[in-house]
Amino acid sequence: MEDKNNSRSINKISIIVLFIFSIKFLGHINGVLSSPGVDPRQGRWELLLDNVGVVAMHMALTHRNTVVISDQTEAGESGYRLRRRYGSGGRRCSSSGDDASDSDCYAHSVEYDVSTNQIRPLRLESDTWCSSGSFLSNGTLLQTGGYGDGSRRIRYFSPCADRRCDWTQSRRSLSDERWYASSVALPEKDRVMVVGGRRVFSYEFVPKTDSDENSSHLPLLKRTNERRSQGNNLYPFVHLSSDGNLFIFANRDSILFNYRRNRVVRNFPRIPGGGSRNYPSTGSSVILPLDHHDNFERVEVMICGGAASGAYLSAREDHRYREGLSSCGRMVIAGNSSDEEPRWHMEDMPGPRLMNDMIILPTGNVLIINGAERGAAGWELARNASHRPFLYNPNETYRTGRDVSYPTELRLQAFIPHYMSQQYNGHRPSNITIHYAESHGTGARYGEEFRVLFWLGRRPSDDLQFTVYPPPFTTHSMSMNQRLLRLRARRVERRAGGWVNVVLEAPPSPDVAPSGYYLLTIVNGGVPSVSQWLRFIHPNLA
């Protein structure tokens, strides 16, 4: 069994990842200029807090403009003491004796308020170490699995305006233990599928419809498991395709899976390049932006980085740290316009990378950040931190940003892209309001129109785009449920005084965009607005 502190080596750095989009979209530091002597086109970093008190093993941005952070409950002391233990029957904690170092007497989850830059402690009842999560349609975070007493737990966090809400735990449990499992939100109303886990080769659905609902075997997970390398197929990459099927990638192999019929629709070719891509080899994956121009039918996945063959054992047993993978693979999994069979198209990053995070920016570019150049994920099994972010344009090639440092500690940092500087404010749409149809004023229904009003002091560029992005659950180089859609604008009307009225068309179905909260961003000639929260309503919520 792995050292229970391995997460502290590989996940503390994820704290700077989520804020790429939370700050970028919400505008908490909008208009900050780059440092003197630094190319403004490369963006910059800003320190928000010296210490958040809890290791950011897991992070998720809520529609209340807060970020939920959680760590393993047996991590020892944190920055926040509890009055009563989360376990042991809730006994009162004293400030001396054994209680001073008892993990049960400390908070291992916090909520960060983006607007006020403040932290408040939350109370967990079971261990979330290496768990998974997805948002439900009402903005509730459904969080599943973990370690030990948390491996079959189902937890909920419903963000609230008064900041008094906390974690609750379901009385029902998962069918199987889910440690290092993945979670994906499904098109059905508030339905989530949890896939895999340590020595678990199955999937199951949450919430449970009845007490007799069990898990189902998934042969891909059994076939790709490398026992001596701790799996190399943990935290499988799972993406919802716009045709309603799931793309599931484990180790080096992938399938298109019809979860409704428990049937493999297609076996894809093995990704070239050797090595492995999933934990503990740990590369990262995204779906490239879906676009209204092809009715969101063309779906392309991209996987970057990972560890060389045998890297985990080499690092753990011989203290030799093999160079990670430099390759990225792109493959169209649905909506290919030609009759050719799907195949991987390979490209190279400027250098090797594992434990990297991939974030889709509102411009459609992909930011590749964090990680290491050698070794594997796990307790002190990686070397040579990857200091340099890579920016990938799906229509062009890689660009590199300036070197930045991310030591493994508890600082909270935000990356501010170059387009957030003041020189672009004249091109930035502002004062955005969203107007739904009067018959259903709480959100937009699929395929129907809704109206957006914004201000722009000059005429919009010919390249005016409207993107929506659901906040993912981020952990272990994964951003579960991450996707970006470009919506169709049916009408764009420029009014007096710089106001612009736009009629947008919602996605055609929950297969394309599962119901829930999304960040709407108006991108004017490559310059994004500060985003606004938008909700797509499932037909069954009417």
Q: Following DSSP, what letter does each residue of 299-325 receive, concatenated?
A: EEEEEE--B-TTHHHHHHHH----B--
Is 303 in contact with 249 (CB distance < 8 Å)?
A: yes
d(CA 245, CA 339): 19
* pLDDT for res 398: 42
Please tell me the number of Cα atoms within 13 Å of 484 on its side-chain side.
Answer: 21
Phi, psi (degrees; rounded to nearest 5) at 446: -65, 135
d(CA 120, CA 27): 21
> Which pair of tokens denotes residue 58?
């897991």
**415-424 burial, b for 16+ CB within 10 Å, e for fewer?**
bbbbbbbeeb
DSSP annotation string for 353-422: -BS-EEEE-TTS-EEEE--EEEE-SSTT-EEEE----EEE-TTS-EEE-------SS--EEEEE-GGGBG
Residue from 479, 540, 519, 488 nearest 132 by CA: 479
Residue from 403, 526, 542 nearest 467 by CA: 526
Is 158 in contact with 201 (CB distance < 8 Å)?
A: no
Residue 72 vs residues 75, 234, 471: alpha-carbon distances, Å: 6, 18, 22
From first to last of its 542 residues, what are the pLDDT tens digits of the chain?
344 433 333 333 333 333 433 333 333 323 222 233 445 567 778 889 989 999 899 999 999 999 999 999 888 888 888 887 765 567 888 777 777 778 888 889 999 999 999 999 999 989 999 999 999 999 999 999 999 999 999 999 999 999 899 999 999 999 999 999 999 999 998 999 999 999 999 999 999 888 788 999 999 999 999 999 999 999 999 999 999 999 999 999 999 999 999 999 999 999 998 899 999 999 999 999 999 999 999 999 999 999 999 999 999 999 999 999 999 999 999 987 666 789 999 999 999 999 999 999 999 999 998 899 999 998 889 999 998 888 899 987 544 643 333 344 678 888 888 888 888 999 999 999 999 987 667 899 999 999 999 999 888 888 999 999 999 999 998 899 999 999 999 999 999 899 999 999 999 999 999 999 999 999 999 999 999 999 999 877 55
* pLDDT for res 457: 85
Torsion angle in degrees (nearest 10) through CA of 420, 425, 427, 431: 100
Is 473 in contact with 479 (CB distance < 8 Å)?
A: yes
- Residues pairing with 486 in the sheet: 291, 467
* pLDDT for res 87: 59
Residue 113, SS3 per DSSP: strand
d(CA 275, CA 281): 8
* pLDDT for res 25: 37
Phi, psi (degrees; rounded to nearest 5) at 318: -115, -5
d(CA 110, CA 52): 8
This model's pTM is above 0.85: yes
* pLDDT for res 268: 97
Is 134 in contact with 480 (CB distance < 8 Å)?
A: yes
pLDDT digits (tens, 9 = 90+) for 45-83: 888 998 999 989 999 999 999 999 999 988 888 888 888
* pLDDT for res 541: 59
* Cβ count near 98 (within 10 Å): 9
Residue from 240, 331, 199, 278 nearest 477 by CA: 278
Domains, the chain, in order of start with CATH, read 6-73+108-420 (2.130.10.80), 422-541 (2.60.40.10)
Is 65 in contact with 77 (CB distance < 8 Å)?
A: no
Long-range contacts of 292-295 (CB under 8 A, 24+ apart): 292/485, 292/486, 292/487, 292/488, 292/505, 293/486, 294/335, 295/508
